[in-house]
Structure 1
Amino acid sequence: MSRPAPVGTVLVTGGSRGIGAAVAERFAADGLTVVIHYREGRDAAEATAARCRELGATTLTVAADIRSAAEITHMRDMLDRAGKLPDILVNNAGIAHYGMLADLSEAEWDEVMDTNLKGLFLCTQAFMGAMVSRKYGRIVNVSSLWGIAGASCEVAYSAAKGGVNAFTKALALELAPSGVTVNAVAPGAVDTRMLAPLDADERGSLARDIPVGRIARPDEIASLVHYLAQPEAGYITGQIISPNGGWHT
């Protein structure tokens, strides 16, 4: 039986911090070429790249607004010229929005949808063709528990991540015959900047609501993303897996 094609390059969108940075570092430990995408925050992206190099990886940092088809095309062409089109695409870039739906502006709605869902579409469309041609690839989308269960005061974010989940399931069916898997990781509460609006008492209350009694670390989410991207995970596709400490089952 022939073995799957070797994987050499991973592209992590929103890879400068939080879950994205943890994902980049997890793959760096395998010695892959790690492409770290960011929109703003070049210093944070370069710091993540430096940690990846310490782990033995070759790195590239690329800036692009994932809401722009032109900028995504430019990023793809640049990576193509460098011979670094990804074997693994981790669609991690996203933003949250807290507030009542009655107070949500059209511009705020569009920003949440464009970043979390349109950006996912544009990046996936740009990079999946090379995977299909190679008959091998891994696409892992970082979603959210709220895309499964919904969250009060996070209607736009929940709707966007629900779209990510549906996108994942549908595209998995399209790409399965080409040897490309598509899965989503939908974490519960993770210790990232998205929890910054919570004070210490609110964080404590949140942790007590989670059966395991704590908020997740980014590296715990990265471990699941890493597994889904391995050759041996080739029979797993179209799945929405939610590491949430038993918060939602």
Structure 2
Amino acid sequence: MSSAPRVAIVTGGSGGIGQAVAARLAADGMSVLVHYAGNAQRADDVVSKIVEKDGTASAFRADVADEDEVAALFDAAEQRYGGVDVVVHTAGIMLLAPLTELKLEDLDRMHRTNIRGTFVVDQQAARRMRSGGAIINFSSSVVKLALPSYTGYAATKGAVDAITLILAKELRGRDITVNAVAPGPTATPLFLDGKEQAVIDRLAAMTPLERLGTPDDITEAVAFLAGPARWINGQVLYANGGAI
């Protein structure tokens, strides 16, 4: 076995959960390529914090739904660090409204980022990942929680579940695991934006632990799947404090 550090690509690595995932995998000894879509400064801040703690990281911009840009993302990981062992696809958008009120352009935006983006990133990962690798997609507990106004978003995450379960079987013989993490209500800007405190309190009370999740709670599941969990494959792991 090679003694070189394993290499991870974290899409959405400048976001709330993505930042925490990138920092955790770097702390676990991986070289991390922090993907971002638009905010270069935030991605650079994530990289700086990792480097300050003696980790190895760099940033790269790409549209996750553009196959050429995602191919360039993987090229960068190979050129900078020698290959790809772990792909954590946290990138996604959430636009909420009841089904009768959701604008179709918003549905199309979520479809492009959440479904096509997952498909494109997983396609490159499946083609180029080294043996012993792990692909970790991001689903959501709202697929089962069935909360009003989440129809469009939950539908895109149901598609992520399907991609995950089938790809795990398509990679038979490659020694590559494919799983998804499905967070419950988690205190990130994506989740908190636009919500009244009463709504946040009600969602926090859904879990027996009576609190929202934190990004670090979610990284525990990711680190497990990215590292020691070689016998967990083709699964959706619900990280939601017991909400369902």
2:206 maps to which of 204, 209, 227 = 209
Q: Deviations over 1:170-228 (max 9, x none)?
A: 11111132100001110100000122221222222222222210001101101110110
1:123 maps to which of 106, 117, 121 = 121
Deviation of 1:105 after TM superposition, in Å, equals 2.4
Q: Identify if the C-alpha distance between structure 1 residues 4 and 186 changes in structure 2 by more than 3 Å, giving closer, same or farther.
A: farther
Report if aligned partners of 1:37, 1:62 keep a CA contact under 8 Å in 2: yes
Q: Identify if the C-alpha distance between structure 1 residues 247 and 4 changes in structure 2 by more than 3 Å, giving closer, same or farther.
A: farther
Q: Identify if the C-alpha distance between structure 1 residues 10 and 50 changes in structure 2 by more than 3 Å, giving closer, same or farther.
A: same
Please say if 1:226 is aligned against 2:223.
yes
- Residue equivalent to 1:146: 142
- Residue equivalent to 2:168: 172
Report if aligned partners of 2:115, 2:156 keep a CA contact under 8 Å in 1: yes
Unaligned ranges ≥5, structure 2: none
Partners of 1:44 and 1:10 lie apart in 2 by: 19
- Residue equivalent to 1:191: 187
- Residue equivalent to 2:105: 107
Q: Identify if the C-alpha distance between structure 1 residues 228 and 63 changes in structure 2 by more than 3 Å, giving closer, same or farther.
A: same
Please say if 1:136 is aligned against 2:132.
yes
Q: Identify if the C-alpha distance between structure 1 residues 5 and 174 changes in structure 2 by more than 3 Å, giving closer, same or farther.
A: farther
Deviation of 1:61 after TM superposition, in Å, equals 0.2
Report if aligned partners of 2:125, 2:135 keep a CA contact under 8 Å in 1: no
Q: Quick check: 214-223 or 74-83, which moved more?
A: 74-83
- Residue equivalent to 2:237: 241
Q: Identify if the C-alpha distance between structure 1 residues 4 and 211 changes in structure 2 by more than 3 Å, giving closer, same or farther.
A: farther
Q: Deviations over 1:79-119 (max 9, x none)?
A: 33334432100011001011121222222111101111110
Partners of 1:47 and 1:178 lie apart in 2 by: 35
Partners of 2:199 and 2:107 lie apart in 1 by: 26
* Total equivalences in the alignment: 243
- Residue equivalent to 1:158: 154
Report if aligned partners of 1:25, 1:55 keep a CA contact under 8 Å in 2: no
Report if aligned partners of 2:5, 2:29 keep a CA contact under 8 Å in 1: no
- Residue equivalent to 1:13: 11
Q: CA RMSD in A?
A: 1.7
Q: Identify if the C-alpha distance between structure 1 residues 7 and 127 changes in structure 2 by more than 3 Å, giving closer, same or farther.
A: farther
Deviation of 1:52 after TM superposition, in Å, equals 1.1
- Residue equivalent to 2:77: 79
Q: Identify if the C-alpha distance between structure 1 residues 38 and 165 changes in structure 2 by more than 3 Å, giving closer, same or farther.
A: same
SS at match of 2:239: coil
Report if aligned partners of 2:74, 2:84 keep a CA contact under 8 Å in 1: no
Report if aligned partners of 2:10, 2:90 keep a CA contact under 8 Å in 1: yes
Unaligned ranges ≥5, structure 1: none
Q: Which amino acid aligns with 1:205?
A: R
TM-score, reference length from structure 2: 0.93
Q: Deviations over 1:105-147 (max 9, x none)?
A: 222111101111110111111122222xx32210011110012
Report if aligned partners of 2:87, 2:136 keep a CA contact under 8 Å in 1: yes
